[in-house]
């Protein structure tokens, strides 16, 4: 009798989940499965074409450019962001509450609407903008930021600016979980601050590193907003991202290419996540 009641009680959980689940299935899951199916069909007549859509996109130059830029962006940005935010959070943790307001300062860009950012960026990075004015005063040569390969680095800077606070919060949560007694014991044993950092802090932050890597990777897909608002629909080649390509295909109604590329991006993301998981699982 009791057993039955517990099982029935547990089933009520489905009722709580159901409304959300129906929407998720209808708006996200089923349409995505539809896209997977379409990636194997021709655009015009809907006939089975096998992997020919995939062959098309992989030989498409715009796809290669966008994929290359997107990968390059992730490879450059994520390690930079992780190291910079770690340094900041170690610094901030040392001062405790005294520099608490700085945490807000680092987090603030997260709240600044991209559209407002775009306006400032136009002033800062115009070929006759504020940054170039500063550079000339300091004796450097002006750079045409938005119309040269430098555009890529403007995008990197934007990503770092926007996400550093997010990662600082995560690092600080990780740091605060390390018991203070370990440091005290190490100090008694005569360990210096550098030794404490490499032998205690870093090893203890390994789980945090995992979450930060994953989240920074996922956030790196959101940088299109900045790229679009600063560079428009057709920015310099160096910041032409996957999302730009999808937008162009969408305008041309190239559903077959979009379907195949969506599947490729999804698979790559899953593989990368799986890799992260494997690496961490092995180290533990």
Partner 1 sequence: MGKKVLIAGALTALGFVICYPVIYLISGSFMGNGELGEGLSPILKNGGGFVAWHVIPLFPTLKNFVELLLDSPEFFVMFWNSVKITAGVLAGQLILGAPAAWGFAKYRFPGRKLLFGLYVLLMILPFQVMMLSQYLVLDELHLLNTHLGIILPAVFSTFPVFIMVRFFDGVPDQILESAKIDGAGAFQIFWSIGLPLGAGGIISALVLSFLEYWNLVEQPLTFLKDPALWPLSLYLPNIDLNDAGIAFTSSVVTLIPAVLVFFCGQEYLEQGIVASAVKE
Interaction residues for partner 1, span 114-153 (CB under 8 A): 114-124, 126, 128-130, 132-133, 136
Q: Determine how many CB atoms are found less than 10 A away from the CB of residue 145.
A: 21
Q: Contacting partner 1 (CB under 8 A), which of 43, 49, 107, 182?
A: 107
Burial 252-279 (b: 16+ CB within 10 A, else e): eebbbbbbbbbbbbeeeeeeeeeebeee
Burial 154-189 (b: 16+ CB within 10 A, else e): bbbbbbbbbbbbbbbbbbbebbeebeeeeeeebeee
DSSP string, 1-35: -HHHHHHHHHHHHHHHHHHHHHHHIIIIIHHHHHH
Closest approach of partner 1 to the CB of residue 93, in Å: 11
- Per CB under 8 A, 242 contacts partner 1: yes
Q: Contacting partner 1 (CB under 8 A), which of 29, 202, 271, 275?
A: 29
Q: Contacting partner 1 (CB under 8 A), which of 1, 15, 138, 281?
A: 15
Closest CB to partner 1 among 21 and 275?
A: 21
- Per CB under 8 A, 229 contacts partner 1: yes
Closest CB to partner 1 among 108 and 275?
A: 108
CA distance 256 to 234: 22
Closest approach of partner 1 to the CB of residue 21, in Å: 7
Closest CB to partner 1 among 32 and 197?
A: 32
Closest CB to partner 1 among 55 and 104?
A: 104
Q: Contacting partner 1 (CB under 8 A), which of 71, 75, 83, 112?
A: 112
- Per CB under 8 A, 214 contacts partner 1: yes
- Per CB under 8 A, 269 contacts partner 1: yes
Closest approach of partner 1 to the CB of residue 166, in Å: 6
* CB contact at 8 A, 239 and 152: yes
The set of residues, in sequence order, having a beta carbon less than 8 Å from that of 168 and lying 6+ positions away, is 85, 88, 89, 92, 103, 106, 107
Residue 48, helix vs strand vs coil: strand
Q: Determine how many CB atoms are found less than 10 A away from the CB of residue 51.
A: 11
Interface mask (CB under 8 A) for partner 1, residues 249-268, using x and -?
Answer: -x----x--xx-xx--xx--
* CB contact at 8 A, 176 and 93: yes
- Per CB under 8 A, 215 contacts partner 1: yes
Please choose, out of 19-27, 46-54, 147-155, 183-191, the segment that lies near partner 1 by the rule CB under 8 A.
Answer: 19-27
Whose CA is closest to 148, among 33, 68, 236, 255? Answer: 236
Q: Binders of partner 1 among 189-208, rule CB under 8 A?
A: 207-208
Closest approach of partner 1 to the CB of residue 275, in Å: 14
Closest approach of partner 1 to the CB of residue 79, in Å: 19
């Amino acid at each position: 009798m009791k057993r039955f009641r517990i099982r029935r009680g547990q089933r009520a959980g489905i009722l709580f989940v159901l409304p959300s689940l129906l929407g998720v299935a209808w708006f996200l899951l089923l349409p995505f499965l539809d896209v997977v199916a379409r990636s194997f069909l021709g655009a015009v007549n809907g006939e089975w074409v096998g992997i020919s859509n995939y062959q098309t996109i992989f030989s498409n130059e715009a796809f290669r450019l966008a994929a290359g830029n997107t990968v390059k962006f992730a490879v450059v940005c994520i390690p930079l962001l992780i190291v910079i935010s770690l340094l900041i959070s170690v610094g901030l943790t040392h001062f405790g509450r005294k520099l608490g307001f700085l945490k807000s300062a680092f987090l603030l860009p997260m709240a600044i609407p991209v559209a407002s950012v775009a306006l400032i960026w136009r002033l800062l990075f115009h070929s006759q903008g504020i940054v170039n004015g500063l550079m000339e005063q300091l004796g450097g040569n002006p750079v045409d930021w938005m119309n040269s390969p430098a555009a890529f680095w403007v995008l990197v800077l934007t990503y770092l600016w926007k996400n550093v606070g997010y990662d600082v919060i995560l690092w600080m949560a990780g740091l605060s979980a390390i018991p203070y007694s370990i440091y005290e014991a190490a100090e008694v044993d005569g360990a210096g601050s550098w030794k404490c950092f490499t032998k205690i802090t870093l090893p203890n932050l390994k789980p945090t590193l995992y979450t930060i890597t994953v989240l920074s990777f996922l956030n790196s897909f959101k940088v299109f907003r900045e790229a679009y608002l600063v560079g428009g629909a057709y920015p310099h080649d160096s910041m032409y991202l996957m999302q730009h390509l999808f937008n162009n295909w969408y305008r041309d109604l190239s559903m077959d290419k979009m379907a195949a590329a969506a599947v490729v991006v999804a698979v790559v993301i899953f593989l990368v996540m799986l890799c992260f998981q494997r690496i961490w699982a092995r180290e533990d």
